Amino acid sequence: MLAPTEDGDGVTRPAWAPREVDIDRPSAARVYDYYLGGSHNFAVDREMARQAIADWPDLPRIMQGNRAFMRRAVRYCAALGIDQFLDVGSGIPTAGNVHEVARLENPDARVVYVDVDPVAVAHSVALLADDDRTGVVQADFSDVDAVLGDPVTRGILDLGRPVAFLAVALLHFVPDTRAPRDVIGRYRDALAPGSHLVLSHATADGVPERAVDHVALYRRTDTPMSMRPHAEVLRFFDGFSLVEPGLVWFSLWRPDHPVGEGAERLPGYAGVGRRD
């Protein structure tokens, strides 16, 4: 599905060679911003996003569904008393960011945002400059030591206490060649008991043709996509106990109101697991 050479350049690119800031290529973060109605994007991003929406008109709704799940999950964790959040693949800040949502429950909530996209990170830094209970780290999800060892992370989070670890709409940008399950396992081992994994993931389940085109579009970006079936997504929760209702379509995860038919129209799996 993915040509290995297109697997970002993170694998072969040595640590000292910085990632290029290339705004002639679409970026997943900015395309996503466009889906959500933001303007933190450029013509290339919009062009790709428009084409994606033309192919698959439900996309904006799917993204909204993902975002809504994240919001409910963050509130769920905060209600459990978790006041530390590590949001990996946080993207470009938009309405309803994790710290804003969390602080509705707990005004002292602390959040570290991590993304590999330098522009998304620079924007996050600018936006959060005055908030000393949030921090931003530019790092690759796979580089567990860089994420957890960054002084910003260390300064804001106390890894001795439970953390909500968010990998929301992230792992479909991490191909199997980079062993995302092992990486999650390493985060799991580093997190204190009582921590939670908040995860959502794109899937081709139920929409195979659409997904093929969609994946093809993302080869234009630095972060091509890997859709995964339910069983594979479930394996990311190895070592976590899934909370009710388990790994389900976005909109079925603890909805505010009972949801009628058609949850599968917004394909994408969501779940929250607890590290015991």
Ligand X SMILES: C[S@@+](CC[C@H](N)C(=O)[O-])C[C@H]1O[C@@H](n2cnc3c(N)ncnc32)[C@H](O)[C@@H]1O
Binding site residues, other proteins, CB under 8 A: 16-21, 23, 30, 35-42, 60-61, 63-64, 67-68, 71-72, 92, 94-96, 100-101, 103-104, 118-123, 125-127, 256-257
Cβ nearer to other proteins, comparing 23 with 190: 23
CA distance 80 to 162: 10
Q: Which residues pair with 112 in a beta bridge?
A: 86, 135
Cβ nearer to ligand X, comparing 198 with 261: 198
Which H/E stretch holds residue 123? Answer: helix 118-128
Cβ nearer to ligand X, comparing 74 with 207: 74
User: Using CB distances below 5 to 8 A depending on partner kind, what does residue 90 bind out of other proteins, ligand X, none?
Assistant: ligand X
Shortest reach from residue 153's CB to other proteins, in Å: 18
Residue 136: CB atoms within 10 Å: 25
Shortest reach from residue 26's CB to other proteins, in Å: 13
Residue 117 sits in the site that holds ligand X (CB under 6 A) = yes
Q: Is the omega angle on the peptide bond into residue 118 within 30 degrees of 0, that is, cis?
A: no
Q: Which stretch binds ligand X (CB under 6 A): 54-62, 166-174, 205-213, 227-235?
A: 166-174
Q: Give every CB contact of residue 164 below 8 A, 6+ residues apart in sequence.
A: 74, 77, 78, 82, 84, 85, 86, 195, 196, 198
Q: Pairing between strand 110-115 and 84-88? A: parallel
CA distance 249 to 207: 13
Among 153, 223, 226, 251, binds ligand X (CB under 6 A): 223
Q: What are the structure tokens assigned to 156, written together?
A: 């804001």
> Binding pattern to ligand X, positions 70-109, x when CB under 6 A?
x-----------------xxxx------------------
Nearest C-alpha neighbor of 110 from the set 145, 153, 160? 153
Residue 45 sits in the site that holds ligand X (CB under 6 A) = no
Residue 33 sits in the site that holds ligand X (CB under 6 A) = no
User: Using CB distances below 5 to 8 A depending on partner kind, what does residue 159 bind out of other proteins, ligand X, none?
Assistant: none
User: Using CB distances below 5 to 8 A depending on partner kind, what does residue 32 bind out of ligand X, other proteins, none?
Assistant: ligand X
Q: Which residues pair with 241 in a beta bridge?
A: 274
Cβ nearer to other proteins, comparing 15 with 231: 15
Under 8 Å between Cβ of 242 and 204: no
Residues 119-138 that bind ligand X (CB under 6 A): 120
Under 8 Å between Cβ of 197 and 162: no
User: Using CB distances below 5 to 8 A depending on partner kind, what does residue 83 bind out of ligand X, other proteins, none?
Assistant: none
